[in-house]
Amino acid sequence: MNIIQVANYEEMSKHAAQYIIEKVRANPYIKLGLATGSTPKRTYQELVKDHRENGTTYQHVQTINLDEYIGLPKTDPNSYHYFMRRHLFDHLDIPSEQIHMPSGTADDLLKECVRYEQLIKEIGGVDLQLLGIGQNGHIGFNEPGTSFKSRTHIVSLAESTRIANSTFFPSLEEVPTRAITVGISTILDSREILLLASGSAKAHALKRLITEGIHEEFPASALKLHSHVTIIADAEALKFV
Ligand code: PGA
């Protein structure tokens, strides 16, 4: 794992955006694996700014998101569909049929898992997967204990994850209890992985990632099985390392 330390959230976001922009320019047909959450928000703003100012085009790019809450329609402001549209897709020139996200409202959720996994294969896999990390080490919504062999599946969210994400909801009760997420094996199939972390809330997780061994109780440790992982983290997130 290649670790790039930067000063703060702002620098992490600029650095990450530049990293992604260079990849998109080098390969206009790139398949980008994308994440939601507070971490990539500013990175997405930078991508939008660059698209506006420098004309980087996403006309041929395909995006594949990691996860979605179960039960929230795409129009719900807390759904990841909504988040991605609001923070990124609505502001780029990417055709909507090239945007891929799992549906959290499919009638048959197990079929949806199979569909999503097949779709990733059919489009040729993910070239660059952007990841955040949960305080408990989750990647996507793969909570501690998830098999490293997992493919797209339904998960029960850890209580700590629901609490961490409740800041976006009116109350904890309204945070969904389940989600659909690509699996750890799906993530490891990506040709390259870029993990972002900012702030002291992630310091413990990053210390574990960097210093502990590989085990399923700490999902992010699976990244050590991958040969092309870059971490961009700020000083606060790396303060225990
Ligand atoms: P965050 O979430 O970016 O909102 O901190 C990261 C994650 O849970 O993977």
Helix (H) or strand (E) holding 42: helix 38-54
Following CA atoms 201, 13, 17, 220 in sequence, which dihedral angle do they give, to the nearest 10 degrees?
-10
- Provide the residue ranges of all domains of the chain, joining segments of one domain with +: 2-234
What stretches in the chain show pLDDT beneath 50?
Answer: none
- Cβ(124)–Cβ(106) under 8 Å? no
CATH of 2-234 given 3.40.50.1360, 3.40.50.1820, 2.40.30.20, 3.20.20.70: 3.40.50.1360
Indicate which residue of 46, 50, 67, 112 is catalytic: 67
What confidence tens digit (pLDDT) does each residue in 1-37 have? 999 999 999 999 999 999 999 999 999 999 999 999 9
C-alpha to C-alpha distances, 98 to 4, 27, 42, 62, 117, nearest whole angstrom: 31, 15, 22, 5, 16
- The pTM (predicted TM-score) of the whole model is 0.97
CA angle 196, 233, 32 (to 5 degrees): 25
**Strand ranges across the sheet with 99-100:** 2-6, 229-234, 192-197, 128-131, 31-34, 62-65, 99-100
pLDDT value at residue 16: 98
Ligand 1 pocket check for 160: Cβ under 6 Å:
no
DSSP bridge pairs for 153: 181
* CB of 72 sitting under 6 A from ligand 1: no
Residue located nearest, by CA, to atom 4 of ligand 1 = 37
Residue 209 CA to ligand 1 centre (angstroms): 15
Tokens of 136: 């408990």
* Residue whose structure tokens are 């949960």: 134
